[in-house]
Structure 1
Amino acid sequence: MSFFGESAKLKYIDLSHSVENGTVTYPGDPPVLIENYLSRDMISKQNGGGPNSGAEINKITLVSTSGTYLDAPYHVFKDGKKIKDCPLEKLVNIPSVVVTLADDRNYFDVKDIEGLDLKDKAVLFYSGHDKFFMTPEYGVNSAYLTIDLARALVENQVAFVGIDTPLVDDISNLSDNGTPVHYILLGEEIPICEDMTNLQALPSDGFMITAVPPAVAIESFLARVFATVIDK
């Protein structure tokens, strides 16, 4: 890859929560349900019961915002693009930077990106809140992006925004303010990735991420998100 140089040895870092039976992502949403649709014995009997005749097929029921997932513009705009419409160029091998939460704040602000070159890059906001995933604390006091920061990200022409909390918006103030950061970013067709994890394993810059969900015709869907970094 020319981004790293021809002789670079690369490694991959998973940035996604696993999705299992019982997983709850956004506090209060129904848990993921994974159940057997056709067992190995059932398929084996259908196929004559001979050697190499068995297999297993499961059925999964989940809300679209389960696990580590992407939001497309249709999430908030009824005429916006859906997940299936997101061009792969916006989701694959995106040069990236990590912005770490400073001080004792529970929000990221414009000063956190001052001096950074963000044009055409994925900006991943690391708060460490992912350690509370699947606990009651996950939906409490989680870090978010201010409206001013969202506007600054648009002005800086970022390609992608990710965070290791339930929402890029203030989860404690949804009834009053709604989700303005979603509207600002998705209004410019900037994909949003929420509920990321393992961002502490990344360098501050000089790496790429890939975040590709299935081509589904809905507003949001879980994705396998990973970073490509130089293995030093």
Structure 2
Amino acid sequence: MLDYRAEFDAEVTLDGGGELRARGFRLNIPHADVTDSEITALLVAALAPQRVERAAVSDVRIIAEPHPPAGDTEAERVRFVELSHVITAGMVTYPGLPAPEITPHLSRSASRGHYAAGTEFVIDRISMVGNTGTYLDSPYHRYADGTDLAGIPLERLAGLPAVVVRVVGSERGVTAEMLAHVAVSGRAVLLHTGGDRHWGTPAYGVDAPYLTREGAHLLADRGAALVGIDAVNIDDASPEAAGERPAHSLLLAAGIPIVEHLTNLRELPPLGARFTAVPPRVAGFGSFPVRAFATVPADEPPA
């Protein structure tokens, strides 16, 4: 098994003034075919808490090294943070959509006639809409010619470097101004609004936080890899919005998956976590529940 590092030259302009130039800079990378944009995002994260206005890498060289035996390096240990709601029969995710129905297809008692003595199984059936629990929207959810669940590559869904944008207690709409100084290129941008505190209650769908049109435009233009929110919808779903869905439209048109109904984002640091939200490979399908989670270095305290 191999570990990979990138060696590169870099030019960085800091927000508020100042420049950095580096030759032969090295960073750990998750895989050998990492892109320049991913390396740039890792570099920006490594420079935190400095805010970066612009960063560029060049002369990239990938170095493969033997992976040390398990337990040799304390820094490799991580903790897992659950970011999904539990799906239960009859629960309401989005007001107006049907709740999931969970029933047995083959009960344990009925299965005993098919197997040897003492052996039994249960096979369950679930009937639900794709927008149940914590779920991912693919471009196909919004656009007939968009990429469906089966077509999204794993590198857009798993192990993404995450940036958590905390807007708890702010106005309902997450604006471009709130995101202006956040480095988002190649990252999962997770909007921590605190909306999940109302999960499972009528208040969850009332005056919920959302991402504004201008905020979505900024994230799409700056190359976010994925955008998630801990609220009922990434768009304003109130009657005043008159059914417009600019955040869905802009992000999914740019091929950026959306994860809605996240929870527990308060447990993540602003930078340093890795985010995963992978749905099954269902062809011709737009949205489906995910087991969303993050990994955080074991020595990183909760936010």
Indicate the SS of the match to 1:197: coil
Q: TM-score, normalised by structure 1?
A: 0.94
Between structures 1 and 2, the one with greater strand share: 2
The gaps in structure 2 that reach 5 residues or longer are 4-27, 31-72
1:228 equivalent in structure 2: 295
Greater CA drift, 168-177 or 135-144: 168-177
Bigger Cα Rg = 2
Relative contact order higher in (CA < 8 Å, ≥ 6 apart): 1
Show CA shifts across 1:164-206 (max 9, x none).
Answer: 0111100104762521110100000000000000001110111
- Aligned 8 A contact 1:142 1:166 in 2: yes
Aligned pair 1:106/2:172, yes or no?
A: yes
> Hey, what does 1:161 align to over in structure 2?
227
The answer for the alignment partner of 1:73 in structure 2 is: 139
User: Which stretch shifts more, 108-117 or 76-85?
Assistant: 108-117
* Structure-2 change in CA distance of 1:7 and 1:66 (3 Å): same
Contact 1:209 1:225 in 2 (8 A): yes
Q: Distance in 1 between matches of 2:204 and 2:254?
A: 28
1:34-113 maps to which residues of 2 (within 5 A)? 34-47=102-115, 50-52=117-119, 54-101=120-167, 103-113=169-179
Runs of 4+ more than 6 Å apart: none
Contact 2:195-2:232 at 8 Å conserved across structures = no
Paired residue type of 1:24: V
- Which letter does structure 2 place at the counterpart of 1:41? S
- Distance, in Å, in 1 between the alignment partners of 2:280 and 2:218 is 30
Residue 269 of structure 2 is matched in structure 1 by 203
Task: Work out the number of aligned pairs and report it.
Answer: 230
Give the drift of 1:7.
3.8
C-alpha separation in 1, matches of 2:171 and 2:153? 35
Instruction: Report the AA paired with residue 292 of structure 2.
Output: V
Change (3 A) 1:158 1:133: same
Aligned equivalent of 1:20, options 73, 88, 106: 88
Give the RMSD, CA atoms, in angstroms. 1.7
Q: Quick one: distance in 2 between partners of 1:140 and 1:25?
A: 13
Q: Identify if the C-alpha distance between structure 1 residues 175 and 113 changes in structure 2 by more than 3 Å, giving closer, same or farther.
A: closer
Q: Percent identity?
A: 38
**Aligned partners of 2:96, 2:203: CA distance in 1, in Å?**
12
Q: Is the 8 A contact 1:101 1:107 kept in 2?
A: no
Cα deviation, residue 104, structure 1: 3.8
Q: Deviations over 1:91-149 (max 9, x none)?
A: 01000111111554111001111222111001000111111111101110110011011
Opposite residue 226 of structure 1, the aligned amino acid is: F
TM-score (norm 2): 0.73
Q: What are the superposed Cα offsets for residues 36-86 of structure 1, whole Å, 9 maximum, x if unpaired?
A: 1111111111225x122x110110011100000000011110111111111
Q: Tell me how far apart the structure 1 counterparts of residues 169 and 262 of structure 2 sit (CA, whole Å).
A: 21
For 2:97, the equivalent position in structure 1 comes to 29
CA distance in 1, matches of 2:249, 2:240: 13
8 Å CA contact 1:168–1:181 kept in 2: the answer is yes
